[in-house]
Structure 1
Amino acid sequence: MALPVWLLLAGAAAAVEYRAQRNKIQARRYFDPGEPGMALSPSQWLPGARKVEPTPGSVVVCHVFGVVEHSGIWLGDDTIAELHGSGLIRGISPKRFLHKRSGARIYVCCDRHHRPLGSELAAQRAAEQLFTARDYHLRNNNCHRFVWSCLSGSEQRISSFHSLNRRLADHYQQALYWDPCLW
């Protein structure tokens, strides 16, 4: 009879420890390149974070049905360049960027001072590709690859938001903060 009670107590202790670790991770709102596995999706970040206004070339993301994230490049004038699932690269409004996706917010890649990270060159590269098409593939040629190509100028397979986060952190050589967009 003592064995089941011991197992019950051990299970309860493990659950408390798991919850404490999960809360600790969820309280971190950034990706630190020095900590492997710390890329958090925007849906996990704390509400009430400071809202920022993206600048041309800023990387923006939203959540899609609790499974993946969708990314794009802010062009300015309330326009985001995105690679649509059809393969078309298009310029759309923030409202359209969120349309038929589960996320209610757009997040902007920022530094620790809540300044958007990005570049005019990324915005220029994205704008030059508007109304062109790619052979879209969810894992091999997706929105994250498009964003990275605009920012870096190189085509590399990026299969997930986590991989994009790692490349962005290495590119900027700093911790990334994903703050809600002012829009």
Structure 2
Amino acid sequence: MVVEEGKFNVTLTYTKADGTQETYNAGSFDVESLTTKPELLEYLAGGEDGDGTTTWEWNEAAGAVWGNGPFGSGNKPQWWAVNYGADIDGQGSSKVGGVARNGSGAWFTIDINNKQAIGSDGVKLPISVSVLEHKDPTWDKGTISFPTATNDNFVIPMGVNVNAGNVVFQNTAVPFRNHRA
């Protein structure tokens, strides 16, 4: 799937009935303009009328805004959950960037036009979006990748794996609500 203008080499790798794989090279294509925008990009950019930027923030009305489980069988953290406000501020204060990057007032903006994400504390990172990695239609609309994210340079509030020493997620689904001013 092509999601931006530019020159692309298109190949198809397929598995035959006997288990062997072959690759077909369809050639090089120059995309001068897009006539359709993938649904995930419209979602991330605020819909068809969006300007290409959307700010995401914690859902203050939710009972739980961050925590663990269960993937695919619920729509919120249920095994261990942190509430909006003092609870997320407490958790965020111990992570890189502190409350400004992770707490209740934290947010990040996705700018599809410039292919970057900007955190509430000013950190900017390039992004790439994959709409082909669907695993569960109720949870997974695609993947946002932050290829240059490091353990001290990330934009998604609490975008860390607490079960692995607070390692930053470079590929993530977005647990925030879309906020459009």
Query: What TM-score results when the alignment is normalised by the length of structure 1?
Result: 0.29
Higher percent of residues as helix: 1
Query: What TM-score results when the alignment is normalised by the length of structure 2?
Result: 0.30
* Larger relative contact order (Cα-Cα within 8 Å, sequence gap ≥ 6): 1
Higher percent of residues as strand: 2
